[in-house]
Amino acid sequence: MRTHLFTAALTALLTTSPAMAASNLIGHYRLAGGPDVVGELEITADHKFRYGLAAGALDEQAAGRWVEEGAKVCLYTEPRPVPPAFTLGPRGAPARNAPTLLVKWPNGRGVALVDFVIGFDKGEALSGYTQDYGWTMPRGDRRAPRWIELAVPMHGLKSPRLALDGKSRGTINVLLTPNDLGMVDFQHACFEAADSGFVLHRDRGDMRFVRSAR
């Protein structure tokens, strides 16, 4: 009787051990999303992972290692990506029809769909988003900008408040250096089985996956 109880307890311990639970998550998964969203996650036996997502204009990827935590595997991007950065360039010379704000890539091309807020000494701040040819103050508004904040929300990118002298005229030139834009910095993003499949818990919200045979 005592031997039977010991055997049953040992079997239960082995079948619920963290190592075995984590090993059950090794495999290939696809995102349980709509037709316009495609995502994949691969967990390999050598404690590596690969991740990719395409959703409209958003493309993400990541790779690195995983560690087991109970019934979960937790992802760490390696090497850690260098985030994109906004930096102010020299003010452009005042010119007729020149934009108030122009955001560019390092190759000189304009960047569209960058959200911004521009503040002044007086009155309310102005907000909007850029086109590849920039953005221009409303007609008749001759206030001098004193600071600017920029963001690309779909990549979780936001600049600190960048100070302007409030005296110089001409285009506010901003350089967006992409660095590792699109590379997700997973740091303890945990993946586990759920009632309806599998879920990846990340700082921007949970993502649901189903197992795939590729």
Query: In order of start, what are the domains of the chain with their CATH numbers?
Result: 2-81+182-212 (2.40.128.640), 85-177 (2.60.40)
**Mean pLDDT, rounded, for 48-75:** 95
Q: Give the integer Cα–Cα distance in Å for 209 and 41.
A: 8
Mean pLDDT lowest for which of 4-8, 56-60, 64-68?
Answer: 4-8
**Mean pLDDT, rounded, for 186-205:** 93
Sign of the alpha-carbon dihedral angle for 111, 116, 119, 125: positive
Query: pLDDT confidence of 19, banded at 50, 70, 90?
Result: very low
Q: Give the integer Cα–Cα distance in Å for 35 and 55.
A: 9
**Mean pLDDT, rounded, for 180-187:** 96
| Mean per-residue pLDDT of the chain | 88
pTM for this predicted structure: 0.79
Q: Give the integer Cα–Cα distance in Å for 102 and 162.
A: 14
